[in-house]
């Protein structure tokens, strides 16, 4: 959305292809955003305004069945029979949420009181009181970091970047809704890399008394009453520990989306070792693909924060505009 708004603002004719019936992607599923707790829909509104202000041609419910480069022109075909020609393409196919069922030992899809961070966010968005599967207000809530991230057993060795601070954010939100709840985060490292993330983390400890337990869950199972028994090493105590929680939230990471795989294959784009798009240079050409005229932005290239995605989107728009003027950034490639 941001790339299209900027390119259109520069005077280019832009068509935005959206697979769902609404623009905004995953952002639509977030109530509040870290670290400021501003509403996700505000950011969507900003993007919407950009698209409308620059008169971007928007097509929704689109299924791309073919996209290929013929000479210097790209031909894109849709399932409904429509087809387009374009001089350049920006791919912004985003991410999919890690399928938590692959971590079977955590019991997602098996025990009713194990939910994902995305589902918790949906509960926040619904505005309804937070209850567990038995309809009761949970008093003890466990939050598991790095589910589907930093885990060779599920094939994802990378860090998903946003889950740590999301866990802190959601812990605070839980405490704001249920004042006497106890929240326990099970973490390996807390990666508070953003400017105000560390402050948010301290706020969670200081103001909301959120507990942080350093250790990765080995397994979770269900007690007779439906609560969840977790097993974890309390690595700071140097002892294995077991504890019951009324609800267990899994901080699911980002994986390359189906759309990324599909469009990338159609256009002949290179993929990196983790299945995200491979850029031409990790430092200097992050939004440039191996196919001249194809650029990308956002979580199709790596796990990203919203701030990162905006920077990517504008960078991709600029690279695209330059390409359309005949500027060959490939000539600047320095092999490393």
Partner 1 sequence: MKDFGYTLSNDRQLDFDKGDRRIAAYVKEHEPSFNVCFACGTCTATCSAGNFTEMNLRRMFTMVKRGYVSEIRKEIAQCMLCGKCSLACPRGVNTRNVIMKINQALELYPL
Which residue's CB is nearer to partner 1, number 220 or number 316? 220
Kindly state the smallest distance separating residue 35's Cβ from partner 1, in Å.
17
Which of 12, 19, 102, 214 touches partner 1 by CB under 8 A? 214
Which residue's CB is nearer to partner 1, number 173 or number 246? 246
Which residue's CB is nearer to partner 1, number 76 or number 210? 210
**SS (HEC) of 133-200:** CCCCCCCEEEEEEEECCCEHHHCECCCCCCHHHHHHHHHHHHHHHCCCCEEEEEECCCCCCCCCHHHH
CA distance 239 to 233: 6
Give yes or no for residue 209 binding partner 1 (CB under 8 A).
yes
| DSSP calls for 289-304 | -SSTTEEE-STTTS--
Give yes or no for residue 222 binding partner 1 (CB under 8 A).
no
Give yes or no for residue 221 binding partner 1 (CB under 8 A).
no
Closest CA relative to residue 113, chosen from 79, 141, 85, 150: 141
Which of 236, 258, 265, 330 touches partner 1 by CB under 8 A? 236
Which of 211, 274, 280, 290 touches partner 1 by CB under 8 A? 211
Give yes or no for residue 234 binding partner 1 (CB under 8 A).
yes
Pairing of the two strands 294-296 and 182-187: unpaired
Give yes or no for residue 240 binding partner 1 (CB under 8 A).
yes
Provide the sign of the torsion angle of the four alpha carbons 255, 257, 258, 263, taken in this order: negative
Which of 242, 325, 331, 335 touches partner 1 by CB under 8 A? 242
Kindly state the smallest distance separating residue 230's Cβ from partner 1, in Å.
9
Residues that contact partner 1, how many (by CB under 8 A): 18
Count of C-beta atoms within a 10 Å radius of residue 190: 17
Which residue's CB is nearer to partner 1, number 9 or number 190? 190
Give yes or no for residue 244 binding partner 1 (CB under 8 A).
yes
| Per-residue buried b or exposed e for 274-303, using 16+ beta carbons within 10 Å of the residue's own CB | ebbbbbbeeeebbbbbebebbbbbbbbbbb
CA distance 114 to 151: 19
CA distance 48 to 45: 5
Which of 21, 180, 206, 325 touches partner 1 by CB under 8 A? 206
Indicate the DSSP class of residue 330.
Answer: G
Subset of 140-199 contacting partner 1 (CB under 8 A): 190
Give yes or no for residue 139 binding partner 1 (CB under 8 A).
no
Which residue's CB is nearer to partner 1, number 15 or number 235? 235
Enumerate binding residues for partner 1 (CB under 8 A): 190, 202, 205-206, 209, 211-212, 214, 234, 236-244
């Amino acid at each position: 959305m941001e790339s299209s708004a900027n390119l259109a603002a520069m005077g280019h004719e832009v068509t935005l292809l959206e697979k769902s019936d609404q623009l905004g992607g995953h952002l639509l599923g977030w109530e509040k955003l870290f670290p400021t707790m501003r509403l996700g829909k505000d950011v969507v509104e900003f993007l919407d305004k950009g698209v409308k202000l620059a008169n971007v041609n928007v097509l929704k419910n689109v299924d791309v069945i073919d996209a290929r480069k013929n000479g210097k022109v790209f031909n894109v075909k849709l399932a409904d029979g429509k087809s387009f020609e374009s001089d350049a393409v920006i791919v912004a196919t985003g991410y999919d949420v890690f399928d938590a069922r692959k971590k079977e030992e955590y019991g997602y899809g098996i025990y009713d009181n194990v939910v994902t961070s995305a589902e918790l966010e949906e509960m926040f968005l619904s505005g309804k009181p937070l209850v567990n599967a038995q309809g009761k207000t949970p008093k003890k809530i466990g939050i598991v970091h790095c589910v589907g991230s930093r885990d060779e057993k599920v094939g994802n060795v990378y860090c998903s970047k946003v889950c740590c601070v999301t866990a802190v954010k959601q812990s605070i939100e839980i405490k704001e809704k249920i004042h006497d709840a106890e929240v326990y985060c099970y973490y390996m490292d807390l990666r508070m890399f953003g400017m105000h993330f560390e402050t948010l983390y301290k706020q969670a400890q200081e103001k909301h008394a959120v507990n942080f337990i350093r250790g990765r869950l080995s397994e979770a199972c269900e007690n007779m009453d439906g609560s969840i028994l977790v097993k974890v090493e309390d690595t700071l105590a140097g002892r294995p520990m077991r504890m019951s929680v009324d609800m267990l939230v899994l901080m699911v990471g980002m994986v390359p989306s189906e759309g990324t795989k599909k469009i990338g294959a159609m256009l002949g784009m290179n993929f990196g070792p983790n299945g995200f798009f491979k850029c031409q240079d990790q430092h200097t050409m992050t939004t440039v693909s191996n196919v001249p005229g194809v650029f990308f932005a956002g979580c199709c290239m790596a796990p990203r924060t919203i701030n990162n995605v905006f920077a990517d989107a504008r960078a991709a728009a600029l690279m695209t505009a330059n390409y359309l003027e005949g500027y060959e950034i490939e000539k600047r490639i320095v092999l490393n």
